[in-house]
Amino acid sequence: MRSAACQGRGLRGDEELSRIDSLKDIAEGLAQLTRIDERLVPVVALAGDVPLRRHQGGYEGLASIIVAQQVSKAAADSIWKRLSDKLQEVGPQSVLAADEEELRLCGLSRPKVRTLRRLAESCVADFRFEGLEDLPAEEAIVKMTALHGVGRWTAEVYLLFCCGHRDIFPAGDIALQNAVRHAFAAAERPSEKELRGIAEAWSPWRGVAARLFWRYYAVTAKRDVIPLGDS
């Protein structure tokens, strides 16, 4: 699903910032990655079909990522359904209008309720999601992490799946660290800094590489831990 806040292929100067918008883009990225790094050939073969997983952006998209943090996929889906049913539409106004205890009864922790409400206040005030897709990844990450409760991982996942940024790799993700360790038969799981260094070789297709390793982890560990579900 394309986000109203993250549509189109943005331009910055004379440079076109290409997006991951389709399965064709995924296929192109995988082909390029196996040329860049031969170690990825067996990873691609074992992973099988790598899903696109594009999602609605804006407040709703970011809220869904926050809801899914540190809980199982099943729990996140259940909480999100209760929240959506309660509010009808998950947006800044509806979240601010709801009583805190009503939000808690949907299954949200107090810190998550606080984050969703502070984010809603920022959106009502002056924060705009429009234009994030046009910024280089690091600039977009800096802008998003200025928001209360939004860390680098959350910002990277939003930019990957809601805006389609092509060259982002959330190296702090434990599943990605475990997947790379397993794929490369490393003795230890790489740290965030180490994995970020490894992933530099996969630029400018790090967004496809992240999807590949999440899919690889799902196949090898039999656990679907990608931050957002199919769309």
Q: Containing domain of residue 85, as a range?
A: 58-161
Burial per residue of 81-116, b for 16 or more beta-carbon CB atoms within 10 angstroms, e otherwise = eebeeebeebbbeebeebeeeebeebbbeeebbebb
pLDDT in tens, 146-166: 998 899 999 999 999 999 999
Same structural domain, 63 and 157: yes
pLDDT attached to residue 86: 95
Q: Is the domain of 143 the same as that of 68?
A: yes
Inform me whether the pLDDT recorded for 5 exceeds 60.
no
CATH number where 80 lies: 1.10.340.30
Full-model pTM: 0.87
* Helical segments of 88-164, H only: 92-97, 100-105, 110-125, 137-145, 152-161
Q: Which amino acid is residue 183, in one-letter code?
A: A
**Residues 45 and 64 grouped into a single domain:** no
Q: What are phi and psi of 63, to 5 degrees?
A: -60, -40
Asked if residue 217 and residue 175 are part of one domain, the reply reads yes
Q: Are residue 173 and residue 143 in the same domain, yes or no?
A: no
CATH number for 45: 1.10.1670.40
Confirm whether 1 is domain-assigned. no
Measured distance CA(165)–CA(91) in Å, rounded: 23
Domain match, 30 and 122 both: no
Domain total of the chain: 2
Choose one of 112, 143, 161: the last residue of a domain. 161
